[in-house]
Structure 1
Amino acid sequence: MTLSARYSELGLAADVSDEVEAVWTSVSDRAGSYRVLPDGRCDIILRFDAGQKPINSATVVVTGPVTRFYDVAIEPGMGFAGVRIRPGCFESVLGFEPTDLANANLIGPDAVSACPGLEALCAPARDQTELVARLTAFVGQRATASRFRPAPLARSVISAFHASGGRLRIREVAEMHGLSDRTVQRLVVKATGLTPKAFAAVLQFHRALRLLRDHRLSPAAAALEAGFSDQAHMSRVIRRMGGFSPARLPDVTLVSLLD
């Protein structure tokens, strides 16, 4: 696996902060592949030729929540501008639930067919900055006009899973909120497109990678801190979700995950 793109997160406008977790851009500097890790989120992305000024056109991509890695082939100068949607806000922005896109992506005509409003995002633009502004305006306008509203209780449940780094079980989260297990299951699936168990596993996976890479803990210490039963358990999860060994972490991008 080769990481061949420069990823950066931009400042977030206050008027879309309820719906958008991050606004980001990425430009490839050589041919290769970009490894996408599961993060329990959905993104709306515009793919374009960063070498064009102005940009003649863009292709829209909507990514669904995934539970294991996948690689995207990229060419030199391929650019991406994206917004990462907060859990619970996908339906209000795009009009359908994230479960409809679990472990799948919609690209180009398929994305436009699912949400016709996306077509306007692909029009020519002066530069990358205009594409980013177009994306955030789209999210804000769609969320304001939508009849779907994120459930406040869902946000609280999602926050509980985040605060524990994915270590809480569904029963514990249910008891914290005075809910049944079934209600927590329904809230998490509707908000993220993943079951509570799968969503918690993604959070625990990211927690382990942060401990290994950013805090430079040993695999054994990271496994203990992240709540795995042992180092071997953590290694199996990282290999399955990320496609690499915790002993040899590649230079993958770890996105910011908020609660």
Structure 2
Amino acid sequence: MHYAETPPPPELDGLVEAVWTLDVGASDWVDHQAVPDGCIELIRRHSGRSVWRREQPELFVTGLALRPAVLRFSGDARFTGIRLWPWAWHALGGERCSEFADDWRLVRGDSPLATLLAGDGDPMPRLGAAFREAAPPPLAAIRHATSVTGLARFTGLSERQLQRICARETGMAPRSYLRLLRFRTAVAGVQHAGALLAETAAASGYADQAHMTREFKSLGGLPPARARKHAKGPFI
């Protein structure tokens, strides 16, 4: 499996998390487990087949994952995906992500969203045009927050206001969304060669390594020591 990510340019920071490509490159069907990362994925499959819960179309969007998902790909499957923050997905006119958590939705070929992943070309210029007049909302600061209190202090919003905004944009409470982001940081951290698990736990905001291990089992389905052996991007 060849998986690669391209980070967004500065003007898309807080809106686009990454553009990624995946080429399964296998002789038969394979299973991969994807884990929660707090983002919405707009995905075009260029070839092959894919199954999650049910057979997927060529163009679809996946909602916020709250638990690990086992994905099945045919060996010739090849994808391009855009990883969006929830508020950016809504800014593009996407349906409320709270309506399809842990699931996916078809994106119609005549939808304006389909033009973002037209053909095999780099979608970043089209994303730049789509978000030309947009700016990340105050909630985007949650990506760098460690607590709701700290987020409120940084944004100048009350915790009650943050509760309402986060519920609208993510379908969950700020603390619950922060949990997904903390886990996302830890999944990336265990992929760093030579990093000690205790150091990764501390850098990710966990109380200790045992706390991180519990979260890996809950959100990823396996302990971090096992995850680090197979982790590649969002797959473990």
Quickly name the TM-score band, shorter chain normalised. Answer: 0.7 to 0.9
Q: 1:12 deviation in Å?
A: 4.7
Distance 2:190 2:125 in 1: 37
Matched, 1:235 2:213: yes
- Residue 24 (structure 2) pairs with residue 35 (structure 1): no
Match of 2:65 in 1: 66
TM-superposition CA deviations, 1:10-33 (whole Å, max 9, x none): 475788667433221111122211
TM-aligned CA deviation for residue 235 of structure 1: 1.0
Whether the 8 Å CA contact 2:86–2:97 is kept in 1: the answer is no
Instruction: Quickly say closer, same or farther: Cα 1:84–1:226, change in 2 above 3 A.
Output: closer
Deviation at 1:201, TM superposition (A): 1.1
Match in the other structure for 2:120: 131
Q: Which runs of 5+ in 2 are unaligned?
A: 49-56
Q: Which amino acid aligns with 1:152?
A: P
- Distance in 2 (CA, whole Å) between partners of 1:221 and 1:213 is 13
Do the aligned partners of 2:3 and 2:233 also contact (CA within 8 Å) in 1?
no
Does the alignment pair 1:224 with 2:222? no
Which secondary structure state, in structure 2, belongs to the residue aligned with residue 201 of structure 1? Answer: helix
Counterpart residue number, 1:164: none
Distance 1:80 1:173, change over 3 A: same
Do the aligned residues in 2 keep the contact of 1:64 with 1:103 (CA within 8 Å)?
yes
2:159 pairs with 1:160: no
What's the counterpart of residue 54 of structure 2?
none
The 5 Å alignment of 1:64-103 reads 64-103=63-102
In structure 1, what residue type is equivalent to 2:159?
D
1:117 corresponds in structure 2 to 111
Note the alpha carbon deviations across 1:69-105, whole angstroms, 9 max, x for none: 1011011111111111234211121343322232221
SS at match of 1:48: strand
Structure with higher Rg: it is 1
Distance across 2 between alignment mates of 1:158 and 1:116: 33
| Residue 48 (structure 1) aligns with | 46
* Structure 1 gaps, min length 5: 51-57, 123-127, 162-167
SS, match of residue 106 in structure 1: strand
- CA deviations 1:106-139 (Å, max 9, x no partner) are 13xxx33xx95168559xxxxx993344x55664
Q: Name which of 218, 228, 231 aligns with 1:252.
A: 231
RMSD over aligned Cα, in angstroms? 3.2
Q: Which residue of 2 aligns with 1:165?
A: none
| TM-aligned CA deviation for residue 233 of structure 1 | 2.0
Residues 89 and 191 of structure 1 are in contact (CA less than 8 Å); yes or no, is this contact kept in structure 2? no
1:26 alignment partner in structure 2: 22
1:231 Cα shift?
2.6
SS at structure 2 position matched to 1:89: helix
Q: Percent identity?
A: 24
Describe how 1:167-186 pairs up with structure 2 within 5 A.
Answer: 168-186=146-164
Count of aligned pairs between the two proteins = 223
TM-score by length of 2: 0.77
Distance 1:211 1:103 in 2: 24
> For 1:216-254, what per-residue CA distance to the aligned partner results, in whole angstroms no more than 9, with x for missing partners?
333334333433233322111001111111222242222
16 and 235 in structure 1: CA distance in 2 versus 1, 3 angstrom threshold: closer
CA contact (8 A) 2:142 2:178 kept: no
